[in-house]
Chains A and B, each alone.
Chain A
Amino acid sequence: MSDEMLFSLNNITKSFVKGRENISVFDNLNMTINKGDFLAIMGPSGSGKTTLLNMLGGVDQPTSGEITFDGGRVDTLSESQLAGWRANNIGFIFQFYNLMPMLNAARNVELPLLLTHLNKTQRQKSVETALELVGLADRAKHMPSELSGGQQQRVAIARAVVSDPKLLLCDEPTGDLDRQTADEILEMLQLLNREFGKTIIMVTHDPSAAKFAQRTLHLDKGEFVEKDLVA
C-alpha cells in the first residue's frame, strides 16, 4: 500500500426522497483511499455500504460534497463522462457475477475491451492473458451455464481486470459461494492487490472475507464506527 491518495471523499451528504420523507444516508462523510489499498467495508443492511460503493463507482452521485479520483473531480461528471470514466478506471465484481449468459467466457471477458481502441488480435491476446491469470484458459469457449459459481466469478474477475483498471469494486464477491470457493476467490483478489498493485474496495457481510483485506471499515447508519481508520 502506497501513501499516494487515489480516492478522496469530502463532506459527502447523500439523501433520498421516499414519498414525502427525506431519508439521509450520509451526512458529512469524509474518507480517503490510497493507491494499492485493499479495503473491506462492512456493516448491517441499510448502513449505506451499497450507496457508498455506488458513489465510488460513479454509478450514483452525492447530494453534496466532493469526490476526487486520482486528482480529478468525479462528482461533477455527466452521465456519459461517468461511463467513460468507469470504462477507464474501474473494474466491477458483482455478487451474482453478472456474466452475459449468451456469451462464452472469452466473449464476456472481452466486453470492456470493446470500449478501447484495441484491434481484434490485441483483444484476443488480452482476453487469453486475463483468463490465464484466473486459471480458466481452458474454459474460454464455455458458456456461463457450463461453469460452476466459482468459475463464473473467476471469469467476472478476468473481465474486471482485462482492461487494467486502477480500481476493483467488489460487491459481496463471495456472497453466493461456498466457503472453500470463496477463499479461493479472495486469495485471487489478494494476489491482484499484492502482485499487480490493484486498489480493491470490497463490500461484504462476511467477517471471514474481510480478513483478506488490509483494513476494514465498519459503517453504521452512514458513519464509520472505527474512527482511527478514517482520514
Chain B
Amino acid sequence: MGQIISQSFAVIAMNLRSIPRRIWMSLAMVFASAVVVAILLAFLAMVKGFETTLSSAGSNDVAIFMRGGSGAELNSTVTREQVNLLEVAPALFKIDDKPVLSAELYVIVDGIKKTTQTEANIPLRGLDIDGTKLRSGFQLIEGRMFEPGTNELIVGAGILREFDGFDLNQEVRFGKYSWKVVGVFSTGGNVFESELWSDAKVIQSLYNRGSSFQSVRAKMDSPASLTELQTYIENEPRLNLDVKAESAYFAEQGSSLSYMAIFGRVISMIMALGAIAGALNTMYTSVADRSREIATLRAIGFSNISAFIGTIIEALVLAALGGVIGALAAYLLFDGLHASTLGGSFTQVVFSFRLSTELFIQGLNMALMIGLISGFFPAWRAAKMPVMVAFQNGH
C-alpha cells in the first residue's frame, strides 16, 4: 500500500509538471470548468439573495392575517370590523394594554427601473406609525417619517437604489395624485426596502378602499401563540381569515423564485456536459502525450493503479483550479450585485446576489464532478496502456 502511495505521488508530480507541454489544452479545461461554476454560482447567488431578502423580513413572533385562501396581500381584504375583532384577540403582545398591531394596505404603483428605463410595479404600503415597530431593524436613514393624513411617503433604500425619481424631497405622481418623498428607510436589506410606505388612511381615501385593509400584522406573545390565534379565528365566524407566522409567509413567497435555481442547475448541467466533452479531449490528449512515459514507468515496474490515479488527479486538479477561478469570478462579479425581479405579489423585489460558503462548496463540487468524469475514462486508458509502447520507435 505504501508503495502504491509513493508511486502515485511520483506519477502525480510528473503529470502536473508535464502540463506546460500541453498548456493550451489544459487551460481550455480550466476555463470550461470556471465558466460552468461561475454561471451555476450566479444563478444560485441570485436565488439565495432573493430568498434571504424575503426570509429575513419575516419574524417568528409576528402574525400576519389575510383573507382565507388569498395567499398574498395583494389578493386579500380585511374589513374594519375584522380588525376590531383582531385587536381583542388572545396571545397578542401588548404595550399599555394595547396590542402592537398594524392594519395595512398594499397597492401597486409604477416606477422606472434605472437599469432598463422601463416601467415596473412597486408596492405602496399603507400602515400606521405602529407598523414600523413590527419591522425589526427599521430605521430612517434620511429625512423624516411621513405625517399621518398627508400625501407624504418614505421610500425603501432598495427602491431609491434601483428606481428613478424617488430622491428625498422629490414630488412623485401616481395616477391623479402627487406624493412627496420625505424620508428614506432601511430594514437591513430585506424585502420591505423594496416598498414605499405611507399613511394607511390616506391610501384608503385616494384608492377608494373605504374602511377596508388587506392585511393585519400583530406581534404575538411568543411564536407558540400562533396556535391560540388559529383557534380564536376558527371559533369566530366573522373572521374568515388565515393566520400565519410572518416568517412562514415570506418563506412561501421566497419559493416563487426557486424555479430559477432549477433553471440554473439545468443550464449548468448542460454546460457541464459541454465542459466534460472538452475536458475528456484534454485528458485523452494528456494520456496520448504521456504514453511513452506511462509505458516506461509500467516497464520499470510501476503499477497500473498509479497510472490511473496520476491521470485522474491531474483532471481533478485542472477542474478544481477552474472551479476556484469560476467561484472567485462569480464572487467578484455577482456578490452584492443589486437586482430586482417580480416577487410573489406581481411587484418588484429589490435584492442582492449572495454567495455563501455553502454555494462555493456547491460550485467546487460541480468542478470536481467535471474533473472526475472527464478524468475517469482517460485514466482507465492510461492504466491499460500496453507496456510495449515504451519500446516503440520515434521520439
Q: Which residues of A contact B (CB under 8 A)?
A: 50, 53-54, 57, 59-60, 79-80, 83-84, 86-88, 92, 94-96, 98, 100-103, 111-112, 114-115, 117, 159, 171
**Complex: A184 Cα to B17 Cα, angstroms:** 32
Evaluate contact between B300 and A111: CB separation under 8 angstroms: yes
Q: Compute how far the CA of A152 lies from the CA of B303 in the bound complex, rounded to whole angstroms.
A: 25
**Pair B3/A115 contact, Cβ less than 8 Å:** yes
Q: Would you call B301 and A94 a contact (CB within 8 A)?
A: no
**Chain B residues positioned under 8 Å from A98 (CB to CB):** 292-293, 296, 390
B302 at the A/B interface (Cβ < 8 Å)? Answer: yes
Partner of B300, one of A50, A53, A87, A102: A87
Instruction: Mark each residue of chain B from 378 to 395: 1 if its CB lies under 8 Å from any CB of chain A, else 0.
Output: 000000000110110111
Task: Let me know if A83 and B391 touch, CB within 8 A.
Answer: no
Q: Which residues of A contact B3 (CB under 8 A)?
A: 114-115, 117
- A-B contacts, 25 of them at CB < 8 A, read A53-B391, A54-B391, A59-B387, A59-B388, A79-B304, A80-B303, A83-B301, A84-B301, A87-B300, A92-B296, A92-B300, A94-B391, A95-B391, A98-B292, A98-B293, A98-B296, A100-B296, A101-B18, A102-B17, A102-B18, A103-B17, A111-B10, A115-B302, A117-B3, A159-B300
B121-159 interface with A by 8 A CB criterion: none
Q: Which A residues are in CB contact (< 8 Å) with B303?
A: 80, 83
Query: With A83-B303, A87-B300, A111-B10 in contact, do A94 and B293 touch (Cβ < 8 Å)?
Result: no
Contact B301 A112 (CB under 8 A): yes
Expressed in whole angstroms, the minimum distance between the Cβ of B21 and any Cβ of chain A is 8
Closest to B15 in A: A102
Pairwise interchain contact B393-A83, C-beta atoms closer than 8 A: no
The 5 closest A-B pairs by CB, nearest first: A87-B301, A102-B17, A98-B296, A59-B387, A86-B301
Distance in Å from the Cβ of B391 to the closest Cβ of chain A? 5
Q: Kindly state whether residue B211 has any CB partner on chain A within 8 Å.
A: no
Interface residue? B6 (CB, 8 A)? yes
Given that A102-B18, A115-B3 are known contacts, is A94 also in contact with B390, CB under 8 Å in the complex? yes
Query: Which chain A residues border B17 with CB–CB below 8 Å?
Result: 102-103
Contacts of B390 in A (CB 8 A): 59, 92, 94, 98
Main secondary structure of the interface of B (DSSP, over half): helix
Please name the residue on chain A nearest to B17 by beta carbon: A102
In the complex, the chain A residue whose C-beta lies closest to that of B19 is A102
With CB as the reference atom, state the residue of chain A lying closest to B2: A117
Contacts of B297 in A (CB 8 A): 111
Q: B298 near A: Cβ within 8 Å?
A: yes
Complex CA distance for A163 and B118, rounded to whole angstroms: 78
B388, chain A: closest CB distance, angstroms: 6
Whether B388 contacts A83 by the Cβ 8 Å rule is no
Nearest CB in chain B to that of A88: its residue:
B301
CA distance A80 to B7 in the complex (A): 14
**B residues near A87, Cβ cutoff 8 Å:** 300-301
B383 to chain A, nearest CB (A): 10
A86 touches B299 (CB 8 A): yes
Asked if A102 meets B14 with Cβ closer than 8 Å, knowing A94-B296, A115-B3, the reply is: yes
B299–A59 contact, CB under 8 A?
A: yes
Chain B min CB distance to A150 (Å)? 16
A59→B299 CA distance, assembly (Å): 7
Shortest Cβ distance from B395 into A: residue: A96
Name A86's closest neighbour in chain B (CB-CB). B301
Closest-CB distance, A94 to chain B (whole angstroms): 6
Contact of B391 (CB < 8 Å), options: A79, A103, A117, A171: A171
Contact B300 A115 (CB under 8 A): yes
CB distance from B228 to the nearest CB of A (A): 72
CA A14 – CA B209 in complex, angstroms? 98
From known contacts A86-B300, A98-B296, A114-B3, infer whether A59 and B391 are also in contact, taking CB-CB under 8 Å: yes
Which A residues are in CB contact (< 8 Å) with B296? 92, 94, 98, 100
